[in-house]
Amino acid sequence: MNDHVQQTKGGVTRRQFLGFAWGASLLAFGGEMTAALIKFIQPVNASGFGGMMRAGKVDEFAVGSINWIKAGRFFLHRLDDGSFIAYWQKCTHLGCSVPWVESEKQFHCPCHGSLFNKKGEVTGGPAPRPLDIFPVKIQNGEVFVDTGNPVVRSSFDASQTTKA
């Protein structure tokens, strides 16, 4: 009998086992990819970005403060008169995320150096217009922001704010 030939009595050879293991792993990988694709193409949840978002209670936001609402991808500014305005964190130049730099008291785009003041107006750099805003609604002492309807603007106007 040949030493290299393995005979089995009703068992599984190593080659069959490895083939089964590879097949099962490819099947699992395909299932994970399908699940990820389905999750990706589902519509955005209305309670997250792209819909009406609760930012918090009016009292949680100090007058003059600028707060980043991460889940909504916006900054909520409570102006000195107590009204609110919500700035989209997206630069109007090429769409980079624009952080608020507290030490500089301005929004500073890290991609191309655009600068925006507390009212979202351009003070430097290549950005062609102020930061876009989202409509703000105050209901029962709570602040809601509609991230599904960005408003393009050419300048700051008090009518863009919402009184508390």
**Contact by Cβ (8 Å): 146, 73:** no
6 pLDDT exceeds 70? no
pLDDT of residue 46: 46
H or E segment to which residue 24 belongs: helix 14-41
Q: Look at 12-21, 33-42, 126-135 and tell me which has the smallest mean pLDDT.
A: 33-42
Using CA atoms, how far apart are residues 153 and 128, in angstroms rounded to an integer? 11
- Name the burial class of residue 127, with classes exposed (0-12), middle (13-18) and buried (19+) by CB atoms within 10 angstroms of its CB: buried
Q: Which residue has the higher pLDDT, 46 or 9?
A: 9
pTM assigned to the model: 0.69
Extents of the domains making up the chain: 1-42, 52-160
In this prediction, residues 52-61 reach a mean pLDDT of 92
DSSP states of 95-130: --B--EETTTTEEE-TTT--EE-TTS-EEESS--SP
For domain 52-160, give the CATH number. 2.102.10.10
Does residue 131 contact residue 85 with C-beta atoms inside 8 Å?
no
